[in-house]
Amino acid sequence: MQTRLRSALETAKRVGVVAKEQELTFLAAAVAYYAFVSLIPAAVLALIVATVVGGEQLATVLLESTGQFLTPSGQEVLTTALTASDGRGSATVLGVGFLLWGTLKVFRALDTAFAAVYGTEHESTALDEVVDSIVVVLGIGASMTLMFALAGAFAAFNLGVGVEALGVLSLPILLTAAFLPLFYRFPDTTVTVREVLPGAVVAAVVWTAMQAGFQLYASVASTSAYGIVGGVILLVTWLYLAGAAVILGAVVNVVLTENRVPGTATQGTSVGAATTTTAAGASDTAVPSKTPATDDRQFQGHREPASEYMAEREPRGAPDVADLAEEVEELRSELDGFEEDVEQRTVDRPQLEADLKSYVRTRMRQGKATGWGPYLVLLYGTVMSLGAFYWLSGWPAVAAMLITFTSTLGLYVLFVLFGGVIGAVRTAGGIAERLR
């Protein structure tokens, strides 16, 4: 019992170390940002589909429900998009385009996260990327739909404590089945279902706990405390923790796979085989020795001639001590040379691991934001989305949405301008110092 507990604690500690080394929070922030951006066109498409199915009556109900967080001009734009055929078609095309773009970005973020955790370099074809994107949409989309559907059913219908408890207990199993293709497909290495199952279970359990926690928070917290701002912050936080849970599952799979790698058992087997082979070889080449049975036969009438018996045991002369010393010195010199050759060929494991980690991180971060960049991008996208849907109206709202949907383009432009200003100031200061 103590051994199992100690092993579990060591595994948990190893998971924490690997998660910290691979910057799990950094990767989860990127996934949360792109997932948040993808939700906006997905919501617009859902509204359009609902109005097409339900007609103008459902569109009127939806528009009335949005009056508390949209300006009159914003309501007018949304009314045109939902009721007019031209506006509905344009909104559908834009929504589909931005949804595909956001989905691909979520795929790239998850792919980068899995490659960093598994320590592999991503190399895939366009077909592989399309298949992976479909896996992301089906896996995460089905998981979120399943959670929200169960939560809505429990809230709308009084199904009883037993049915609700059964639904909560079955949710981790259903989420595990939804996550399993994602954990099996994304690693750029050969894995089995048994190896990726623990990570899917961990992600499913964490998602279930998050759903229960956020449901409790939503039922206790005031709905009008922060309005739309509080809702967006809560949604972004949920997406961040959801992405962290998925990446944590990948870390768990990697750590458990490392623990399953055969070590001393394989070595013991090979050593045992070598020992058996050596013994067999020795037995084949060993010189037969006189046994007590042979000596007994000499006293039972089967004696060997005395001359032959003495000839076998006659000493052949003592070896030369000088020759032996010379041979020993030659063997020592050869052994020293062999040891030096082995030391030169042996790789220092800590140095090799450090070099490999540095190489992988350098390749993975080429052309990507580092440090606080992803968090600034996440904050920037959140503020611009809030501005587009609450504070702005008309063309400024459309411009804000375009900047948000083009990911880090606007933020990178600001970074470049800011860096250019700093560079110009430094250049001017250097020229002034030289003139002095």
Whether residue 327 lies inside any domain: the answer is no
Give the SS3 label for residue 304: coil
Whether residue 79 lies inside any domain: the answer is yes
Question: What residues contact 178, with CB distance under 8 A and at least 6 apart?
Answer: 138, 139, 142, 143, 146, 204
Whether residue 309 lies inside any domain: the answer is no
Whether residue 333 lies inside any domain: the answer is no
Query: How many CB atoms sit inside 10 A of residue 77's CB?
Result: 18
Whether residue 192 lies inside any domain: the answer is yes
Q: Which residue has the tokens 């939806």?
A: 62
pTM over 0.75: no
For the chain, the domain total comes to: 1
The letter for the amino acid at 306 is A
End-to-end CA distance of the chain: 77
Whether residue 161 lies inside any domain: the answer is yes
Average pLDDT for consecutive 10-residue bins of the chain (436 residues)? Answer: 75 81 78 73 64 63 54 56 57 66 74 82 66 68 63 59 64 82 82 88 88 73 55 76 87 82 38 37 42 45 45 56 81 83 72 76 57 63 66 66 59 65 78 76
Of the CA atoms within 13 Å of residue 177, those in its CB half-sphere come to 6
pLDDT of residue 280: 39
Range of the domain at 200: 2-259+367-405
pLDDT of residue 158: 60
Calculate the alpha carbon distances from 308 to 288, 303, 314 in Å: 16, 11, 10
pLDDT of residue 53: 66
Whether residue 272 lies inside any domain: the answer is no
pLDDT of residue 272: 38
Burial class (CB in 10 A: 0-12, 13-18, 19+), 315: exposed
Whether residue 322 lies inside any domain: the answer is no
